[in-house]
Structure formats: structure tokens, C-alpha cells
Amino acid sequence: MESHSRPLRVLVVGTGFIAAQHAAAIHAEPRLDLAGVVDVDPGRAAAASRANGGVPAYTDLAEALAETRADGCVVCTPNDTHAGIAVQVAEAGAHLLIEKPLATDVAGARRAVDAFAAAGRVLMPAHSHRHYDYARTVRDVLLSGELGTVDLVRLSILGGWIWPDWRGWMLDPARSGGHALHNGVHLLDLVTWWTGDTPETVYARGRRQTAAELGIYDYLEMTVGFAGGATAVCEMSRGHRPASFARRDVMVVGTGGLLTLPWDAEAGTVTDESGTALLPPGGGDGFAAQMAAWADAVEGGAPAVTGADGLLAVAMGVAAERSIATGEPVRVADVLKEAA
């Protein structure tokens, strides 16, 4: 376990939309201190500095790491930069919390995992949904055994609010890896975490819900087949209209009962042979919980999300994109072998 007499100094790398939520989580975590912000665009770096009390701003990560002697980095840059930045951070001897996906391909994700294994530092992919109350509630119920053996998971995350005007690098498949990697990976990771099983196949279909000219499918249907026999049906969109629409539904069917969880603010239910019981409502700050989990891991605790988890999620996202392209199920093991 690492022992620190002072808060860990952390750089936020990349200052786009999601970086503000990570910075707020750092400010809320007493074991961490924001040491500076990094962005290749000097204007954005300066704006982020002003928004965070005038912390040092940099346009070069190597310079920022050297000058601040940062203990760790939170990386929020475009997806196609993740693998290279992760390796750079590992070689600098710093810990890393990195936005999902860990990389846009399996080879890049594996390079990142290997670099942190060699450096002995903490690598935690930011699969933030694992840290929200709804996800923890489902996980806790499944671990309790109340539902028995899981047969079916259905997870829908639908909405249009997050990309209302359809612009930015995430619409470029070469930069994002495609929508299955950029946002679909949340669902693929969650259903794997919930079942605790090995994903064998991914079959996916995509649709351009909002505009045919988009370079990505903004609406996805992804079906995961697990080694233990369970099936997960994942549905996600960022193109629903009205753009203000947001909806999340969870249903898990097991040999011992049924769990439904329609929304954070509403209590879910578990139904078994003894009747129906309410689950506690929840609405905590997932980003704050995620940052605290990363600090725990840096102090010697087990990472809430491992590099191997991030690598597997990338392989599943790649499998989903390939399945959309070919119309056929894709074996996850085959994708993982490519960069072994």
C-alpha cells in the first residue's frame, strides 16, 4: 500500500465535455489535488485553468508531468489517443484513470495494460456506469443469489440529450472507434460485470436514427452470448428525438426470480416465489464514487475496474462493430487473439 502524507497530485489531460465532471470529482475527493490541466489547444487549456482556480495549464503532457511531478493523470482525450497517452503515463511512473474505451483496438488496449503491469502503477478504465447506484444495486442483488442463475439481461440506455447537435470527433469512426466502442462499451461492460460470466459472442445491428449522413450508427442493438448460457440484450442510442429524451431500463431474469429497475429516481423491484419487494432508489454521483475508487486503488486497494476489464470491453466493442458490418455474430475470443 502506498502511503501519502499529502493529497495525490493529479493532472486532467484533455479539457472537453467530460473533463469538467472528472475535475469536479477531484475537487470533491480529499485525497486528491488538481495539479494542472493539459490540452493541445492553448485556448481550451487556459479556459480549463480559469474554471479550476487558476491551476497550471499545459499543452504538452511530458512538460506537465515533469513540472508538476504529478502522481497520476485523468485522461479525457479523444479515443484514438488513449493507448499512446496511457503508455506515456505509465513510463512516467504515474497512475491513470482513463476515459473509456481504453483504446480503439485490442492491440492498443493490450499495450496500455502491459505498460502498467511493467510500471507497477494503477490503470483504471473509467467505466463510470459501474459506479452509479443503479448498477451497484443490480450487482448486489445478483451476488446475493436471490435471482438464482441468470438467464437473460435486458439493458436499455436511450436518449438524445448528450449529442444534441451532432458534431465533434466522436462522430468520426477513425477517432472514436465507432459508437459501439464510444458509448456501447458502457453496456457491454456492465452486462459482463453483472453476470460475472465470460462473453463468447456479440451480435449487433446499427441504425442511423437521426441522420443518414452520420459516419456512425447512433442507435445500437447488441446481443451478448455468455459461456454460462445467459444472454444479454443491450439497446442504446444517442439520437432519439426529442433530444431531451433520456431513459434507462434494466430487467434481469434468473432461475429464482425477476429484477426490474426502470430509473435511478424510482425504486426497482425483485419478484420471486415469495412475492414482490422494492429495491432502494438511488441517485448518487457516479463520477465522485469512481474517483474515490481510483484513490482507493492507488492506496493499495483492488481496482474497481482493471486493465483486463478495459481490454475485454474493447474487444467486445470491436466485435460489435464487426458484427454490424458483416451481419454475423463475432466471437470475442477471436478478436482478443489478434493482438495476443
Model pLDDT, residue 188: 98
The per-residue pLDDT for 165 is 66
> How many Å apart are CA 213 and CA 38, to the nearest integer?
33
- Averages of pLDDT over each 10 residues, the chain, 340 residues: 76 95 96 98 97 97 98 97 98 98 97 98 97 93 96 93 72 91 96 98 91 82 98 91 82 96 70 76 82 97 97 98 97 91
pLDDT for position 326:
97
Residue 217 neighbours by CB under 8 Å, 6+ apart = 178, 179, 180, 206, 207, 208, 324
**Cell 455474430, residue located:** 329
- The number of helices, as runs of H, and strands, as runs of E, in the chain is 12, 15
Q: Is the dihedral of CA 211, 203, 104, 90 positive or negative?
A: positive
**Spatial CA neighbour of 148 closest among 275, 264, 270:** 270
Cα dihedral 302→303→304→308 (10° resolution): -120
The reported pTM is 0.93
Distances (CA, A) of 128 to 55, 65, 102, 288: 25, 25, 13, 10
pLDDT of the residue at 1? 46
Interatomic CA distance for residues 179 and 257, integer angstroms: 33
130's enclosing H/E stretch is: none
* Alpha-carbon dihedral 167, 172, 177, 182, rounded to 10 degrees: 10
Check if the beta carbon of residue 261 is closer than 8 Å to that of residue 277: no
Contact 12, 98 (CB under 8 A): no
pLDDT at 2: 55
Supply φ then ψ for residue 288, to 5 degrees: -65, -40
Give the pLDDT of residue 4: 62
